[in-house]
Structure 1
Amino acid sequence: MTFSEENYLKAIYHLTSHSNSGVSTNAIAEMMETKASSVTDMLKKLSDKDFVNYKKYQGVSLTESGKLEAKMIVRKHRLWEVFLVEKLDFSWDEVHEIAEQLEHIKSEKLINKLDDFLGNPTEDPHGDPIPDAKGRIIAIEKQLLSELVPHQSGVCVGVKDTSSAFLKYLDKQEIALGSTIDFISKETFDLSLKIKVDGKELTISNKIASNLFVKLL
C-alpha cells in the first residue's frame, strides 16, 4: 500500500469507529482536506484491493481486511507515541506529527519488538487504546466530562481533541491523564463547568469539558 492509501484507511477507520453505518465521501474529503473527486478515485482503488465497501452515492465502510490494515496503522502510530513520550521525553503535544511519519514503517517485526520493549502498553499518551498484533482492542470505560452531573467525580483517561493547542492548554491548567476531576456545578448561561482537579478549583468552558474523557469513580 502507498502512504496515501494507508492514510485514507486510517481516516475511514476513525470516522466509522463511533458509527455502525458507512461514511460519506464528503466527510472523508473534509478529514483528508482534499476534494471529493479525489476521494472517489481513492475509494475505487481501495475497493479493487478489497479494503472498502464502496458504491457511488452510498456510505463507505471498511471490509474485514481493510479494518485490520487500518488497526495495524493505528497500532504503529500509538506505539510510536508511547515510545517518544516514555523513552525520548517528548511531551504529549509534540508526538502526533512525528508518529504520522513513523506509522508508515512496514516492518512488522520491528513494531512487535517495539511493543515488547515498551511492555505491551494498551493505551497511548492521549488515553487512546492500542490494538495488539492481531487487531484486538481492550475497551476503555469512559465518558465525556461534559456529560457528568454535579457531585460526580472521575479520573481523566483520555482526550478527544489531540491538537497541540488543546494539550498545551491542559498542561497550563495542570490537567493530565490520571488527574482526579470533581464536577462541582454547571453555569446555565454558557454551560461552563466549575470543577476541582486534584483538589484545585477552576472553571473550564463546555468546549474543554466536551474534549475530556473520564472514568467515573
Structure 2
Amino acid sequence: MKPTTPAAEDYLKTIYAHTEWQPEPITPRVLATRLGIAPSSVTEMVKKLAAGGFIAHVPYGPLTLTTAGRMRATAVVRRHRLIETWLVRELGYSWDEVHDEAEVLEHAISDRLLEAINAHLGQPATDPHGDPIPAADGSTARVPAVLLADAPPGHAGTVLRVSDRDPAILRALADVGIGPGSQLTVVDTETVRLPAGELHLLASDAANAIWVSR
C-alpha cells in the first residue's frame, strides 16, 4: 500500500510525532486515542501500512517506522509545520489557531507551492511552537531538551518547544509572553520565574506541554 491517502499520512505523522520528544514507543491503543478513532480501525490500517513496508509491527507490540515510513512521515510533518509557520507569519493567525488549518492544507497543496512557501519564509528551522521543520531529505536538527515537568527546581533554560495539543494552554502562555525563545527558571512544577523576576503560575498541565533547554 502506498500511503498517499490523507488517512495513511495521518497515521505515519502521528507515529513519528509520538517519539519525537520522548523515547516511549507508541502502541496501537495509544495511536487510536491520539487519532480519536476505534482500535479496530487502527488494526486494519496498521496491517496495511506494515504490508506496504512503512511500519514494523508484531501483534500487541509497539509500532516503529521503517526507513520508508519515516521518509513519508517527515514529508508530511514538513508540510504541516511549514504551513503553520506561513499562517502565523503571513496571514495573521495565532499559534493556537493553525493546527487544524494545517491538518487540511497539508494534504492539498502541491510540492511546488510548498517549496515556494519555504523560500518565501527564508527556510525556517522551526514552526511557531518550536518543533523542528524537517528538511526536504527528511533530516532534522533538534537541541537537547527536558520537559518542564521533569526539570528540577532552579533549572534555568530557554523554552524550545510547546505542544500544540491544547489550544487553551497556548493561549494562556501567549497572554504572559511565554513561547519558544523565552527565558525562564523553574520554581516548581506549577511555577516559573520570568527574566524580570516575576513569578508566573502555569495553567493546568502546562508543565507537561513545555520543553526547555537542558
Under a length normalisation based on structure 2, what TM-score does the superposition of the two structures give? 0.88
Kept in 2: contact 1:151–1:182 (CA 8 A) = yes
Q: Structure 1 residues 42-51 or 147-156, which shifts more?
A: 147-156
Structure 1: how far apart are the matches of 2:102 and 2:44? 26
Structure 2: how far apart are the matches of 1:57 and 1:147? 29
Deviation at 1:33, TM superposition (A): 1.3
Once superposed, what is the RMSD of the aligned Cα atoms?
A: 2.1
- In structure 2, the CA distance between the partners of 1:58 and 1:212, relative to structure 1 (3 Å rule), is closer
**1:203-214 superposed matches below 5 A:** 203-204=201-202, 207-214=205-212
Kept in 2: contact 1:16–1:61 (CA 8 A) = no
The residue number in structure 2 matching 1:84 is 87
The residue number in structure 1 matching 2:148 is 145
Counterpart pick for 1:100 among 99, 103, 122: 103
The residue number in structure 1 matching 2:182 is 179
AA of the residue aligned to 1:208: A
Q: Deviations along 1:28-58, whole A, 9 cap, x unmatched?
A: 1111111111111111221222111233333
Kept in 1: contact 2:118–2:124 (CA 8 A) = yes
Kept in 2: contact 1:25–1:60 (CA 8 A) = yes
The residue number in structure 1 matching 2:18 is 15
Deviation at 1:106, TM superposition (A): 5.6
**1:189-208 superposed matches below 5 A:** 191-204=189-202, 207-208=205-206
SS of 2:161 mapped into structure 1 = strand
SS of 2:194 mapped into structure 1 = strand
- In structure 2, the CA distance between the partners of 1:145 and 1:174, relative to structure 1 (3 Å rule), is same
- In structure 2, the CA distance between the partners of 1:133 and 1:68, relative to structure 1 (3 Å rule), is same
Kept in 1: contact 2:129–2:179 (CA 8 A) = no
AA of the residue aligned to 1:139: R
Larger Rg: 1
**1:106-121 superposed matches below 5 A:** 107-121=110-124
Kept in 2: contact 1:181–1:198 (CA 8 A) = no
Under a length normalisation based on structure 1, what TM-score does the superposition of the two structures give? 0.87
Q: Structure 1 residues 70-79 or 41-50, which shifts more?
A: 41-50
Deviation at 1:134, TM superposition (A): 0.2
**1:42-53 superposed matches below 5 A:** 42-53=45-56
Structure 1: how far apart are the matches of 2:149 and 2:143? 18
Deviation at 1:197, TM superposition (A): 4.8
Deviation at 1:13, TM superposition (A): 1.4
The residue number in structure 1 matching 2:65 is 62
**1:144-163 superposed matches below 5 A:** 144-163=147-166
The residue number in structure 2 matching 1:28 is 31
Deviation at 1:161, TM superposition (A): 4.5
The residue number in structure 2 matching 1:3 is 6
Structure 2: how far apart are the matches of 1:211 and 1:20? 16
Q: Deviations along 1:81-100, whole A, 9 cap, x unmatched?
A: 01001111111111011000
